[in-house]
Amino acid sequence: MAATRATLVHVASLAGVSVASASRALNGMVASPETVAKVRAAAASLGYVPDATARSLKLGHSLQLAFAVDDVGNPVYVEMMRAIETVVSRSGYRLLVSSTGAGPTDAVDLVRSLSRGYADGLVISPLRVTSELVSELQRAAVPVVVVGSLPAEVRLDTVQTNSAHGVGLAVAHLIETGRRRIGFVNGPLDTTPGSARQRGFEGAYAAVGLQADVHEVQQVAKDFTVAAGRTAALELLDRHRAGSGAVMLDAIIAANDLLAFGVIHAVLELGLRVPQDVAVVGMDDTELASVFNPGLTSVSLGSAARGRHAAELLLARLTDPQLPASRIVVQPRLVVRGSTDIAATHDGSRR
């Protein structure tokens, strides 16, 4: 219908007032009741929608915040996003989510364009932290909070978790429950989580004094997805098949829950049982972990808590840009379910 979108000028002229009065009437500033009525009527009949671009150019802010993530397909980011949304919406901000897909150039690109005008602030959780990305984040025209690790010298608000320690919790749990031949399916090593978890695994492996060559029991998946987890697990298990010289694994730790689901699938495909033949531990403790069959033992990295902290940090900096950069660390926590403990199947509710 509206062949040409109506502007405030049109509304004002149709209402027979000046644009200033129209603006005031629409925004609830001082104006006589009859002016308000006329302007409202004119706006309605024209289907007037204020131009957000012009508005924020004038006002200097957009009341929008952005959350940039490499893979929205990962439930962990959904949980984080929900937490962020909850916090920022309380302060009147709208949250925009932007998936940068893969590739560090995309993230840089995104930060550059998003960081001036479209959003008043940014929470970013990058899989890969390149020096280019870091310098882009530092020069961003709006406040940025990073969820994840950054080089120590970078002075930016960050929220992180100790995922290396998280892997340690998983190893300790498996050792306690009698496993000794523990494999590890990781995500790409050039990602921040991938490298941290590798450090954690190798550290824990050495600490408990396991026999096998630590490199023999690791397998790197091509990304952090279910399909990649399945493929990696099949390769890893194949290397450890009876008769291949290496010992069969009795447990596998996956770098996140999606990989773990793929791992379980692979184990079952091979006709092995979980947890009796191979125990499996995931990381992130996403919602599906408790519903999967068997329930997935997982290391919670507090994704909701990290999201909440990140949002609060961003809001704080928005109100006071002079604040010193802060770093919040959320500690991991192990949640035991059926994939490592047969008695825990179905949360013990089986009768």
Partner DNA sequence: CTGTTAGCGCCTTCAG
Partner DNA sequence: CTGAAGGCGCTAACAG
Residues that bind DNA (CB under 7 A): 7-9, 16-21, 23-27, 29-32, 34-35, 48, 50-51, 54-55, 57-60
| DSSP bridge pairs for 279 | 251
- Sequence-distant contacts of 113-116: CB under 8 A, at least 24 apart: 114/66, 114/68, 115/140, 115/141, 115/142, 115/144, 116/140, 116/141, 116/142
With respect to a copy of itself, which residue has the nearer C-beta, 140 or 171? 140
Report the distance separating Cα 25 and Cα 37, nearest Å.
Answer: 8
Ordered DSSP codes for 127-192: SS--HHHHHHHHT-SS-EEEES---TT--SEEEEE-HHHHHHHHHHHHHHTT---EEEEE--TTSH
Indicate which of a copy of itself, DNA, none lies near residue 7 (CB less than 5 to 8 Å, by partner kind): DNA
Q: Which single residue is written with the structure tokens 């490298």?
A: 195
Provide the greatest CA pair distance for the chain: 90
Helix pair angle (104-113, 131-138), 10° resolution: 10
What minimum distance in Å lies between the beta carbon of 66 and DNA?
19
With respect to a copy of itself, which residue has the nearer C-beta, 29 or 141? 141
Indicate which of DNA, a copy of itself, none lies near residue 349 (CB less than 5 to 8 Å, by partner kind): a copy of itself
Report the distance separating Cα 207 and Cα 201, nearest Å.
Answer: 10
Site for a copy of itself in 16-75 (CB under 8 A): 47, 49-57, 62, 64, 72-73, 75
Report the distance separating Cα 302 and Cα 139, nearest Å.
Answer: 29
Among 151, 178, 320, 350, binds a copy of itself (CB under 8 A): 350
With respect to DNA, which residue has the nearer C-beta, 48 or 261? 48
With respect to DNA, which residue has the nearer C-beta, 60 or 209? 60
Q: Are 80 and 147 in contact (CB under 8 A)?
A: yes
What minimum distance in Å lies between the beta carbon of 119 and a copy of itself?
9
The reply to whether omega before 275 is within 30° of 0 (cis) is yes
With respect to DNA, which residue has the nearer C-beta, 24 or 180? 24
Indicate which of DNA, a copy of itself, none lies near residue 296 (CB less than 5 to 8 Å, by partner kind): none
- Phi first, then psi, for residue 154 (nearest 5°) are -75, 125
Element (H, E) at 122: strand 121-125
Report the distance separating Cα 255 and Cα 267, nearest Å.
Answer: 16
Q: Residue 243, interface with a copy of itself (CB under 8 A)?
A: no
- From residue 177, alpha-carbon distances to 131, 272, 279, 308, 338 in Å are 42, 18, 10, 34, 12
Among 288, 304, 316, 344, binds a copy of itself (CB under 8 A): 288
Task: From 185-193, 200-208, 290-298, 324-332, give the range in contact with a copy of itself by CB under 8 A.
Answer: 290-298
With respect to a copy of itself, which residue has the nearer C-beta, 164 or 264? 264
Among 138, 189, 273, 325, binds a copy of itself (CB under 8 A): 138
With respect to a copy of itself, which residue has the nearer C-beta, 204 or 263? 263
With respect to DNA, which residue has the nearer C-beta, 43 or 159? 43
Those residues whose C-beta lies under 8 Å from the C-beta of residue 239, and which sit 6 or more positions away, are 216, 219, 246
What minimum distance in Å lies between the beta carbon of 103 and a copy of itself?
4
Task: From 24-32, 102-110, 197-205, 324-332, give the range in contact with a copy of itself by CB under 8 A.
Answer: 102-110
Among 42, 110, 127, 221, binds a copy of itself (CB under 8 A): 110
Report the distance separating Cα 338 and Cα 297, nearest Å.
Answer: 7
Q: Given the rule CB under 8 A, which residues bind a copy of itself?
A: 1-2, 5, 47, 49-57, 62, 64, 72-73, 75, 78, 81-82, 85-86, 89, 94-99, 101-105, 110, 112-118, 138-141, 226-227, 230, 261-262, 264-265, 268-269, 271, 287-288, 291-294, 346, 349-351
